[in-house]
C-alpha cells in the first residue's frame, strides 16, 4: 500500500528526518491558517497517489496569500482534491534522489541514490547510469556505517551536508525495516542554500502482505479510484475497474491475465478484472455483486482446476445468479474435476458451458459488441 | 526422471494437524508421496492419516530422516517454520501460504541461499512429479494436465498452469516435474535457479515456462540460456501482454512499473535466445512439437 | 565484568523476567525493613562475586525475623559482607538451568538449558550430558520462535510453564545482545508449586571490551579482592595479586604467564602479576608503584621485543626506580632492539642485565629465598 | 614459500593516516610489504609514505586491486572496517586492535566464514613472512627471531612469540610465516583453521605452536592432527601450566573456568597425537630438532 506524501512525512518527522514546515488541510476554510503556519512563498501539494503530480498541475507554488488561496480553491473545488499539504518553499542548492527498496534477486535491501534529484530514478538509469550510487544491505545485517559513507561519498557530499546525509539514510533504513516497506524514497532531498538537507517529497510503500503486523495506516477510500475497488479491497477480493464492456470473473491471477489478453486480441474490451480463485471460490455471490456494479455488457467466468471442484464452483455461480438476477449475459468456461456435473448444473440454469477458454472469450467479445446471445 | 521430488523423497508436513495440512496430507499420500511425518508444536504423539506428528522439526528429522518439507502454516508464521526446517538440515522446502510478507520472503531466500537449500514459493501450488509424488496442493487427479512425460514445467501461476499445460498434453506430451515458483514479488526460488536441475535431469527433454508480467525472472532465464547454463529446448507462455502499466494484476509480483517487467521485453529477451514463445495457450501444443523436433 | 546478583536481577526485572520479591541492604539497620518487605520465610544472600556461595555459608535461609536478623548480622559483621539481598523463599516444584552464552568456535550465541537446575552446568555436562539442551543462534539472526520451542520441549515443560518459559528465554537473549553479555544465566529458574517460573538466581557477565558502549555498571571496589587490584583496573593495567614473594613486571600476557610458570618450576612463588606491554610501556613508574604495594621480596622484570625499543623501556625502569626507591632487589631481562643500550643504562644504575629468561627467573627465586643479591 | 602473505600480496592499510597506521605503514614498507593503498574516510588524495589514501575501501580496491588489508582502527570501529573490507571483496584481513568487543568479534568471524575470507586477530601483532612482507606490528628487525626459514609459527601472544621463536632460531631454524591469532576470547581465525594452509605450503616443514591456557584452540589442533587434516611435525609450547583457575591471566582468552581450558588438558590432547610439547622455552630448540628428524 502506498502512503500519501503527508503520511510519509509524518513517519520521516517521527524518525528525525528533516521535512519542510507543513500543514495538512481537508477543508478550504482551513487554508488561511495553513498559509499562516508555513509562511510565504508556499507550495500547495495535492495529496493524491498518482505519479507526475507536478506535470499534472497538482502541485502549485504561491508567492502571496491571495494566490495560495486561489490555487487551493482551484485544486479542492475544480480538481476535486480532498487533502492539500501546504509547505514552506525551500531554496535549492542541490537536489538529491535517495531511496531504500528491495532487490528480489539478491534478496537484499537496495539503497539507490543519485545527485540528479527531482528526476525519476528510471530516467536517470537510462540517461546517466553513472550517476546512480547503489549499495546493497544483506538480509540479517544491519546497515553498516561504511555503507552510509559509500553513499555519501558517491553523492559527492562534503562537510555538514555529508554528516546530515549520514544521519538521514540510517533513519530511512530503519523505517524500511520497521514498517515492512517495499520503498522508502525521498525525491528530492533538497540541500538548501543555507546548508540544510530537507526531504521535500516522500514516498513510502508498505507491503500489503505485512498488514497483520503493520496496522498503523489502514486503507481508505482515497487509495482507490472507485468505490467498488475500495469495497473489493476491504473484502479481500482482487478487483480492478476498467472502462470496457466485459467483466471478468476468473479463478487464478495468471488465468485472469490470460483472458484479459485474449479479450484484447479478439478486439473486445474489459470492464473489470476480478479474481475469485483460491479461498475466494466460496464467495461467488459477493464476487458477482462487485462485478455487476460497473454495469458490464457481458460477464465472462473462466476457471480451470482450482482447489474447489468444478461442480461446487458452478453451483456457487448458479446461486449467485439466482440471488442477483444479472441482466448482462454470462459466459462460462468452468473446467476441472467434476466438470461434467458442473456442465449439467449450468445447463439447468440456461447457461451454456464452454470447455475451451478461447472459445469462451470469442463468444464474450461477440456478445459485448451486440452479437447474438 | 524428475527434479526436486520423486517417490523416494521423504516428506514432512509442517502444520499437518490444521485443516489444510491434514486435507492435503491425504492427497499427497494418495498420489504416491512418501510422507514420513508431520509437525505441529504441542501435538506430538498424534497421527494424521497414519502419519506420526512431532513437536519440532528437529525431532521429526531425527526420527524419520525426512529430507523435504511442505508447509501448511499461516503467512505470519512461515518464516519461523522455514527457518526451523533449514536449521534441521532440510534442503527442499515448499511454502504454499499466500501472503508471506516480502521482508520475510527476503530473509527466507537469503537463508536458503546461504545454506544451499531450495525453498519453493510462497503463494504456490508447489511441486509435482506426476504419477510419483507431490508437495503442495495440486488437483493431480485431472488427467489431462498431470500426466507423466518429459516436459519440465515451471510456472508463476495456478489455474493458468492447468490451462496451458493441458494444451501441451493435448499435443501428446506429459510432465516430468512441474514447479510452481509462486506469484509473490519475491519468490524464494527463481525460474533460472531451476534450470540447472532440469538440465541435469534425464527425464526432462524440454521446458514449458509459464510466466507473466512483472519482475525479471523470465529475463534471467533468457540470460541463463545465453550463458549456456541451460541448453534444452523451451516453450514459453507469458500472460499479461496487454495489461495496463502501473496496475498490480492479481499476483503481488505481476506489475509493470517504471517500464520494468513488461511482457514485450520478456518475449524479446526469450526469442533472442531461441525460446519459442506462444502468444496464447492454444499455440503451446504446436510450438512444443516444433521445439521437440529442434 | 561480572555483575552482582542484585544487578542481574535488576536487569531481569526491567526486561520482564519474574524475580522473587527482594530488598537490597547495605546497612544492618535496614535489615528489619527488608524482612518486612519480602516476608517470611526469607533467604539472605551475600552479594559477592565468588562462586559456591551456598556451600560457603554465604546464603542463609531464615524462618523467623529473629533468625533472619541474627544471620544477617553474622554475614555483615563476622563475614564482612557489604551488601545483602533479602528475598522471599520460594516453593520449588522443579529447578531449571538456563543460560545464554557464546560459542567462539561456531561464533554463535549458545543457549544451554537443563532440567537439572541448581547444579552447575559443568557438573551436569559430565554426569548426565543427555539432560543438556543446546540451541545455537547464528550471528545476524534473531532468536527464532522455533528455537525457543526446541528449548522448552527439550526441558519437558508443558502448559503454562511452557508459555512462561517461552517468554523468559527471548528476554534473556535480548539482555545478552543489549548488554554485550558473555553470559546471562538463571540457575535455578524455579517452577514454584503454584506454577510460576521465577529466576531465583542470576549471573550476568558483561564483556570488558564493550565498556565504551556499556556504561551502566561501572567497576567498583567490590569487584576486587584488594585495593591494588581495583586501582590497577581503574588505570587499565592488568594486575593480579597473589601471596608469594616475587612480583612480576613483564611485557606481554603470554610472556608473563611463562615467567609465572618458570617461577613455580624453580620453586619460587609469585607476589603479583603485572603486565606492562603494549601501550603501557610508557608507564613504568605507575606499574612499579602498583607492584611494590604488595611488598614483594623481589621484583622481576622481563620483556622481549615490544613495540618500544629495549633502551626506552630500560630508561623508564631506571627513572621509576629513582622515583620510587624500591627496597626490594630488582632483576631485569630486557631484550629486543637496542638491548645493548638498555644493558648500559641498567648497569649505570647498578642493575645487572640478564639476557636469558630462565636465568633471570632462577636468580629471582634464589633471591626471594634469601640468596645473595 | 609462505602462507597468507608474501611480497606479491597487495596490502591496504585501513586507518593509514592515524599515528599507528602511518608509523607501521613505514615499517611494513621497510620490510618489503607491497602496500598499495590506505583508507581514511575524508582523507582521499593525501599520501602516507608515498602510499595513496582513499575515502572508501571499495574505491581503494577498484584503483589498486588490493587483496589484503591490515587495520589500524580503534576497537569501536573495527567491525565496520572489517565489514567494509569484506564487502569490497578483500579475503585477507588483519585486525591489530586490542579491545574489540566479543559480540563484534563473533559477527566478524561469522561474516568472514560465510564469505570464505580470513580475518586474523584482533589483539594480534599480525602476520609476517620474514624477509618478504608483514601485515601488522612486528619488530621484524630483531634478527634472532624474524629469520626466514621453514617453521610455520602460530601463536596467541606477542612478546612470548619472540622469546620462544628465538629458541628455535638459536637451534638453527627460521620462520616461513608467523601468524598471531591474537589473545582475545573469540579470535576471528583459530589455530586449526591455519593448518590446511601450512599443510599445503611447501615452504613450511614444521609447525611451532605457541599456545596458552584458556579456550579450546589447542585441543582443536590436536583433533585436526587426529583427523589427518595436518600431517607435518609440530612442536608446541603452552604457557600458563601453573596458572590458578578462575583468574583471567592477561589475555581476555586466557582463563580456566569450570575445568575447561587447562594447560594440562591441552598438553595431553597434543601429546596423544604426537605433538612435541616443550615445558619451557629453552626446550623448544631441542624438540624442534627432534621433530624435524622424525
Give the confidence band of A191 by pLDDT, cuts at 50, 70, 90.
Answer: very high
In the structure grid, which three cell numbers stand for residue D240, read together? 600458563
**Choosing from C5, C6, C95, C97, which is the catalytic residue?**
C97
C303 interfacial to chain D (CB closer than 8 Å): yes
Say if residue D33 is in the same domain as residue D71.
yes
Please tell me the predicted confidence (pLDDT) of residue C124. 84
Per cent of chain A over pLDDT 70 is: 98
Q: Which of D123, D153, D184 is the last residue of a domain?
A: D123
- Asked, for residue B128, whether it belongs to a domain, the answer is no
* Domains identified in chain B, total number: 2
| Binary contact (D55, A149; C-beta < 8 A) | yes
| Residues β-bridged to residue C109 | C102, C137
Q: What CATH number does residue B191 fall under?
A: 3.40.50.261
State which residue of chain B sits closest to C151, comparing Cα positions: B56
Helix (H, G, I), strand (E, B) or coil at A105: coil
Report the residue count for chain C.
373
Say if residue B93 is in the same domain as residue B192.
no
| Residues of chain C positioned with their CB less than 8 A from the CB of A177 | none
The burial of B25, by beta-carbon neighbours within 10 Å (0-12 exposed, 13-18 middle, 19 or more buried), is given as buried
Q: Is the model's pLDDT at B246 over the cut of 90?
A: no
- How far does the CA of residue B275 sit from the closest CA of chain A (Å)? 19
- Asked, for residue B1, whether it belongs to a domain, the answer is yes
Say if residue B150 is in the same domain as residue B243.
yes
Q: Nearest by CB to A257, from B141, B162, B254: name it.
A: B254
**Choosing from C135, C182, C185, C275, which is the catalytic residue?**
C185
In the structure grid, which three cell numbers stand for residue D232, read together? 607435518
| Residues β-bridged to residue C189 | C96, C199
Q: CA A268 to CA A270: how far, in whole Å? A: 7
Say if residue B67 is in the same domain as residue B109.
yes
Please tell me the predicted confidence (pLDDT) of residue D250. 82
CA-nearest of B174, B291, B185, B290 to B232 is B291
Give the confidence band of D115 by pLDDT, cuts at 50, 70, 90.
Answer: very high
Q: Tell me the CATH number of domain C92-210, given options 3.60.20.40, 2.60.40.420, 3.30.470.20, 3.20.20.70.
A: 3.30.470.20
Give the confidence band of A206 by pLDDT, cuts at 50, 70, 90.
Answer: very high
Q: CA D166 to CA D160: how far, in whole Å? A: 10
Choose, out of C137, C138, C140, the residue to mutate when testing the contact with A (most A CBs < 10 Å): C140
| Binary contact (B281, A256; C-beta < 8 A) | no
Residue D118's domain comprises: 1-123
B19-73: pLDDT as tens digits: 999 999 999 999 999 999 999 999 999 999 999 999 999 999 999 999 999 999 9
Report the CATH fold assignment for A21-88: Dna Ligase; domain 1 (3.30.1490)
* Average pLDDT score over residue span B168-182: 97
* Average pLDDT score over residue span D150-161: 94
Say if residue D114 is in the same domain as residue D150.
no
| Residues of chain A positioned with their CB less than 8 A from the CB of C140 | 140-141
Average per-residue pLDDT for chain A:
93
pLDDT, greater one: D245 or D280: D280
State the chains in contact with C (3 or more Cβ–Cβ pairs under 8 Å): A, B, D
State the chains in contact with A (3 or more Cβ–Cβ pairs under 8 Å): B, C, D
Q: Is the model's pLDDT at C278 over the cut of 70?
A: no
- The string of DSSP codes covering C285-315 is HHHHHHHHHT--SEEEEEEES-SS-HHHHHH
* Average pLDDT score over residue span B108-135: 96
| Residues of chain D positioned with their CB less than 8 A from the CB of A153 | 41, 55-56, 59
For C221, other C-beta atoms within 10 Å of its C-beta total 13
Residues of D identified as active-site: 251
State the chains in contact with D (3 or more Cβ–Cβ pairs under 8 Å): A, C
> Which pTM does this prediction carry?
0.95
- How far does the CA of residue B270 sit from the closest CA of chain C (Å)? 38
* Average pLDDT score over residue span C45-63: 93
A208-265: pLDDT as tens digits: 999 999 999 999 999 998 999 999 999 989 999 999 999 999 988 999 999 999 999 9
Q: Is the model's pLDDT at A43 over the cut of 60?
A: yes
Say if residue B119 is in the same domain as residue B166.
no
| Residues of chain C positioned with their CB less than 8 A from the CB of A141 | 140
Lowest-confidence region among C337-351, D22-36, D160-174: C337-351
- How far does the CA of residue B142 sit from the closest CA of chain A (Å)? 6
Q: CA A287 to CA A292: how far, in whole Å? A: 9
Please tell me the predicted confidence (pLDDT) of residue D249. 87
Q: Is the model's pLDDT at D251 over the cut of 90?
A: no
Q: Nearest by CB to C207, from D103, D163, D187: name it.
A: D103
- Asked, for residue D107, whether it belongs to a domain, the answer is yes
Domain boundaries, chain C: 21-88, 92-210, 236-368
* Average pLDDT score over residue span B64-92: 98
- Asked, for residue D132, whether it belongs to a domain, the answer is no
Please tell me the predicted confidence (pLDDT) of residue A278. 64
Q: Is the model's pLDDT at D287 over the cut of 80?
A: yes
State which residue of chain A sits closest to D82, comparing Cα positions: A146
Q: What CATH number does residue D22 fall under?
A: 3.40.50.720
Q: Is C266 assigned a catalytic role?
A: no
Q: In chain A, which residue ranges form alpha helices assigned H by DSSP?
A: 5-15, 31-38, 65-73, 121-127, 145-154, 159-178, 227-235, 253-265, 284-293, 310-324, 339-348, 357-368
- Asked, for residue B132, whether it belongs to a domain, the answer is no
Give the confidence band of D247 by pLDDT, cuts at 50, 70, 90.
Answer: confident
Q: Residue C126: which region, alpha, beta or left (left: phi > 0; alpha: psi -120 to 50)?
A: alpha
Given a contact cutoff of 8 angstroms between Cβ atoms, the answer to whether B185 and B214 are in contact is yes
- How far does the CA of residue C122 sit from the closest CA of chain A (Å)? 33
Say if residue D212 is in the same domain as residue D111.
no
Q: Is the model's pLDDT at A308 over the cut of 80?
A: no
| Residues of chain C positioned with their CB less than 8 A from the CB of D186 | 102, 104, 107
The burial of A29, by beta-carbon neighbours within 10 Å (0-12 exposed, 13-18 middle, 19 or more buried), is given as exposed
Say if residue B174 is in the same domain as residue B247.
yes
CA-nearest of C180, C187, C223 to C203 is C187
Q: Which residues of B touch C (CB under 8 A)?
A: 41, 55-59, 77, 80-81, 83-84, 87, 111
**Eight-class DSSP state of C55:** T
State which residue of chain D sits closest to C120, comparing Cα positions: D258
Q: Nearest by CB to B102, from A207, A213, A358: name it.
A: A207
D164-178: pLDDT as tens digits: 999 999 999 999 999
In the structure grid, which three cell numbers stand for residue B13, read together? 508436513
- Asked, for residue B246, whether it belongs to a domain, the answer is yes
Report the CATH fold assignment for A236-368: Rossmann fold (3.40.50)
Q: CA B285 to CA B288: how far, in whole Å? A: 5
Q: Which residues of A touch C (CB under 8 A)?
A: 140-141
Please tell me the predicted confidence (pLDDT) of residue A373. 52
Q: Is the model's pLDDT at C72 over the cut of 70?
A: yes
Please tell me the predicted confidence (pLDDT) of residue C372. 57
| Binary contact (B155, A254; C-beta < 8 A) | yes
| Residues of chain A positioned with their CB less than 8 A from the CB of B210 | 254
Say if residue D67 is in the same domain as residue D102.
yes
Say if residue B149 is in the same domain as residue B280.
yes
Q: Is the model's pLDDT at C58 over the cut of 80?
A: yes
Please tell me the predicted confidence (pLDDT) of residue C279. 66
- Asked, for residue B73, whether it belongs to a domain, the answer is yes
pLDDT, greater one: C333 or A373: C333
Amino acid at each position: 500500500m502506498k502512503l500519501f506524501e503527508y503520511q510519509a512525512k509524518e513517519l520521516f518527522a517521527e524518525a528525525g528526518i528533516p521535512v519542510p514546515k507543513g500543514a495538512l488541510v481537508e477543508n478550504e476554510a482551513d487554508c488561511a491558517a495553513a498559509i499562516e503556519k508555513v509562511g510565504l512563498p508556499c507550495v500547495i501539494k495535492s495529496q493524491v497517489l498518482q505519479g507526475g503530480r507536478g506535470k499534472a498541475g497538482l502541485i502549485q507554488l504561491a508567492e502571496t496569500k491571495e494566490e495560495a488561496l486561489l490555487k487551493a480553491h482551484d485544486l479542492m473545488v475544480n480538481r476535486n482534491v480532498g487533502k492539500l499539504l501546504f509547505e514552506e518553499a525551500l531554496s535549492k542548492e542541490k537536489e538529491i534522489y535517495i531511496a531504500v527498496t528491495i532487490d528480489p534477486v539478491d534478496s537484499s535491501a537496495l539503497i539507490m541514490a543519485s545527485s540528479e534529484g527531482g528526476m525519476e530514478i528510471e530516467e536517470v538509469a537510462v540517461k546517466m547510469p553513472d550517476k546512480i550510487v547503489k549499495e546493497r544491505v544483506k538480509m540479517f545485517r544491519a546497515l553498516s556505517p561504511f555503507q552510509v559513507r559509500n553513499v555519501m561519498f558517491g553523492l559527492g557530499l562534503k562537510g555538514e551536508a555529508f554528516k546530515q546525509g549520514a544521519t538521514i539514510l540510517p533513519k530511512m533504513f530503519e523505517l524500511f525495516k520497521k514498517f515492512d516497506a517495499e520503498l522508502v524514497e525521498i525525491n528530492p532531498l533538497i540541500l538548501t542554500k543555507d546548508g540544510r538537507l530537507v526531504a521535500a517529497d516522500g514516498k513510502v510503500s508498505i507491503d500489503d502482505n505485512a498488514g497483520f503486523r503493520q496496522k498503523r495506516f489502514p486503507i481508505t477510500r482515497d487509495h482507490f479510484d472507485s468505490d467498488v475497488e475500495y469495497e473489493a479491497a476491504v473484502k479481500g477480493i482482487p478487483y480492478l475497474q476498467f472502462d470496457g464492456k466485459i467483466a471478468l470473473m476468473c479463478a487464478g491471477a495468471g488465468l485472469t491475465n490470460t483472458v484479459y489478453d485474449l479479450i484484447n486480441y479478439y478486439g473486445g474490451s474489459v470492464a473489470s478484472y476480478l479474481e475469485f480463485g483460491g479461498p475466494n471460490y466460496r464467495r461467488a455471490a459477493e464476487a458477482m455483486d462487485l462485478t455487476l456494479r460497473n454495469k458490464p455488457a457481458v460477464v465472462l467466468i473462466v476457471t480451470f482446476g482450482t482447489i474447489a471442484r468444478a461442480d461446487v464452483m458452478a453451483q456457487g455461480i448458479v446461486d449467485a445468479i439466482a440471488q442477483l438476477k444479472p441482466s448482462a449475459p454470462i459466459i462460462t468456461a468452468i473446467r476441472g474435476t467434476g466438470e461434467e456435473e458442473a456442465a449439467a448444473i449450468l445447463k439447468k440454469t440456461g447457461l451454456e458451458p464452454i470447455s475451451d477458454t478461447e472459445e469462451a472469450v470469442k463468444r464474450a467479445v461477440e456478445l459485448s459488441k451486440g452479437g447474438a446471445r | 526422471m524428475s527434479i526436486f521430488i520423486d517417490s523416494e523423497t521423504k516428506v514432512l508436513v509442517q502444520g499437518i494437524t490444521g485443516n489444510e495440512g491434514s486435507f492435503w496430507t491425504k492427497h499427497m499420500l494418495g498420489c504416491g508421496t512418501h510422507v514420513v511425518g508431520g509437525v505441529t508444536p504441542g501435538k506430538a504423539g498424534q497421527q494424521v492419516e497414519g502419519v506420526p506428528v512431532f513437536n519440532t522439526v528437529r525431532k521429526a528429522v531425527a526420527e524419520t530422516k525426512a529430507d523435504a518439507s511442505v508447509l501448511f502454516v499461516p503467512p505470519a508464521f512461515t518464516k519461523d517454520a522455514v527457518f526451523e526446517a533449514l536449521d534441521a538440515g532440510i534442503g527442499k522446502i515448499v511454502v504454499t501460504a499466500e501472503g508471506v510478507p516480502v521482508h520475510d520472503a527476503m530473509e527466507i531466500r537469503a537463508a536458503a541461499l546461504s545454506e544451499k537449500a531450495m525453498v519453493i514459493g510462497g503463494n504456490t501450488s508447489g511441486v509435482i512429479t506426476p504419477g510419483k509424488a507431490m508437495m503442495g496442493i495440486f488437483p493431480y487427479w485431472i488427467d489431462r494436465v498431470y500426466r507423466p512425460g518429459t516436459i519440465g514445467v515451471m510456472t508463476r501461476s495456478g489455474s493458468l498452469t492447468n490451462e496451458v499445460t493441458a494444451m501441451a498434453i493435448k499435443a501428446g506430451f506429459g510432465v516430468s516435474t512441474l514447479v510452481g515458483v509462486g506469484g509473490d514479488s519475491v519468490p524464494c526460488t527463481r525460474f533460472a535457479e531451476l534450470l540447472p536441475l532440469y538440465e541435469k535431469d534425464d527425464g526432462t527433454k524440454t521446458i514449458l515456462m509459464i510466466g507473466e508480467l512483472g519482475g525479471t525472472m523470465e529475463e534471467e532465464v533468457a540470460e541463463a540460456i545465453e550463458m549456456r547454463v541451460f541448453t534444452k529446448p523451451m516453450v514459453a507462455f507469458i500472460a499479461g501482454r496487454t495489461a495496463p502499466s502501473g496496475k498490480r494484476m492479481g499476483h503481488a509480483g505481476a506489475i509493470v512499473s517504471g517500464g520494468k517487467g513488461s511482457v514485450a521485453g520478456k518475449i524479446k529477451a526469450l526469442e533472442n535466445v531461441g525460446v519459442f514463445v506462444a502468444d496464447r495457450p492454444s499455440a503451446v501444443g504446436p510450438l512444443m512439437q516444433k521445439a521437440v523436433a529442434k
